[in-house]
Amino acid sequence: MEFKDKQSIYLQIADYICEQLLLGKWPPGERIPSVRDLASTLEVNPNTVMRTYEYLQGNNIIYNKRGVGYFTDEQTNTRILESRKERFLESELPEFFRTLYLLNISIEELQKRYKTFIEKAHPATL
Tens digit of each residue's pLDDT (9 = 90 or more) over 96-106: 999 999 999 99
DSSP letter (8 states) at residue 33: P
**CA 3 to the chain's CA centroid:** 14
DSSP letter (8 states) at residue 32: P
Provide the pairing of β-strand 69-71 with 63-65: antiparallel
pLDDT band at 124 (very low <50, low <70, confident <90, very high): low
Give CA–CA dist 119/115, Å, rounded.
Answer: 6
Q: Enter the pTM of the model.
A: 0.77
Res 117 pLDDT > 70? yes
**CA 102 to the chain's CA centroid:** 28
Res 60 pLDDT > 80? yes
Tens digit of each residue's pLDDT (9 = 90 or more) over 77-114: 999 999 999 999 999 999 999 999 999 999 999 999 99
Topology of the domain comprising 1-91 = Arc Repressor Mutant, subunit A (1.10.10)
What was the pLDDT predicted at 15? 95
Q: Any idea where the domains of the chain sit in the sequence?
A: 1-91
What was the pLDDT predicted at 21? 94
Res 125 pLDDT > 70? no
Q: Mean pLDDT, to the nearest integer, of 9-33? A: 93
What was the pLDDT predicted at 119? 87
Res 123 pLDDT > 70? no
Residue 17 CB burial class (10 angstroms; 0-12, 13-18, ≥19): buried
Residue 2 CB burial class (10 angstroms; 0-12, 13-18, ≥19): exposed
Enumerate the β-bridge partners of residue 71: 31, 63
- Dihedral angle over CA of 110, 113, 114, 119, nearest 10: 160
